[in-house]
Amino acid sequence: MLSNRLQDALNQQINAELWSAYLYLSMGMHFEAEGLSGIANWFKIQFKEEQDHANIFMNYINQRGGRVELKAIDAVDTSWESPLAAFEATLAHEQKVTAMINNLYALAEEEHDYATRDRLNWFVTEQVEEEDNARTLIDKFKMIQGNGMGLYMLNQELGARVYNAPSVLSEE
Domains annotated for the chain, with CATH where assigned, are: 4-162 (1.20.1260.10)
159 by DSSP, 3-state: which? helix
How far apart are the C-alpha atoms of 47 and 28, rounded to whole Å?
A: 8
What confidence tens digit (pLDDT) does each residue in 104-149 have?
A: 999 999 999 999 999 999 999 999 999 999 999 999 999 999 999 9
Distance (Å) of CA 85 to CA 33, 81, 90, 137, 159: 16, 6, 9, 11, 19
- Segment 7-43, tens digit of pLDDT: 999 999 999 999 999 999 999 999 999 999 999 999 9
